[in-house]
Amino acid sequence: MNEAKRKPADALREARKRDSVAKRGQVLAAIDTMKDSGTPISFAAVARTAEVSTWLVYAAGVREHVEAAMKGQAKSVRRERKSGVGASAASLATDLELARAETRALRGERDRLKQAVQRSLGAQLDQRGTKELTGRVGELQAEVQRVKDELAAARADNAGLLRELEEARDEVVAVREAGRQMFKNVNRSG
């Protein structure tokens, strides 16, 4: 079609067609992702995953892909049940109990290590003399005072800058008003 004779309706039609193709591609990609991750496939789940409206997944040309994926997923579940690939309830219960036992053991080890660290820190604090700790407290207080002084100086600088900004704003307003008056006078005399 010639660009000069192109109508807005044609442009809209082409944009709608591109958007439709892109969204259908999103649906097919979502189906593949859901298959790979083992996520249960349904029309609503595919629409949610692809971030498209549900009517699109029911549309001809898309619905067939969703239905085929649902059937394929149902077949694989039946196949797993027949072949015994899926874990049985007893197996899952055993795994759960083993995980709980391991968690209990890890918690016990954590508590023992925590107590050992606390004892070690206590011994280190006892070894340090009060003179050393008093010196450290003095250093920290001096550092706090230095930071407070810097903060006060920064606040003073900030207040000065705010005043300068306000003055500059007032000057801009005054210059604008003077410019308006000058243009009015020029227009009246001209």
Question: In this predicted model, what pLDDT tens digit does every residue of 58-101 receive, in sequence order?
Answer: 988 889 999 999 998 888 766 666 665 556 778 788 888 999 99
**Distance of alpha carbon 125 from alpha carbon 135, whole angstroms:** 14
Q: What is the structure's pLDDT at 107?
A: 93
Query: What single-letter DSSP state applies at residue 52?
Result: -
Closest CA to 48 of 27, 68, 22: 27
pLDDT (tens place) for every residue of the chain, 190 residues total: 455 577 888 888 888 899 888 999 999 999 999 988 888 989 999 999 999 988 988 988 889 999 999 998 888 766 666 665 556 778 788 888 999 999 999 999 999 999 999 998 888 777 766 767 788 888 999 999 999 999 999 999 999 999 999 999 999 999 999 999 999 998 888 6
Q: What is the pLDDT of residue 116?
A: 92
* Structure letter (DSSP) for residue 38: T
In single-letter form, the type of residue at position 77 comes to V
> Which pLDDT score, from 0 to 100, does residue 47 have?
92
Sign of the C-alpha dihedral, residues 95, 98, 103, 104?
Answer: positive
Residues 6+ apart with CB under 8 A from 10: 1
Residue type, 121: L
Q: Report the distance separating Cα 73 and Cα 124, nearest Å.
A: 62
Q: Would you list the domain boundaries of the chain?
A: 11-86
- The greatest distance separating any two alpha carbons of the chain, rounded to the nearest whole angstrom, comes to 101
pLDDT at 92: 82
Find the radius of gyration of the CA atoms of the chain: 37
Q: What is the pTM of this model?
A: 0.39
Task: Please give the single-letter amino acid code of residue 97.
Answer: E
pLDDT of residue 174: 94
Residue 57 contacts residue 69 (beta carbons within 8 Å): no
d(CA 98, CA 87): 15
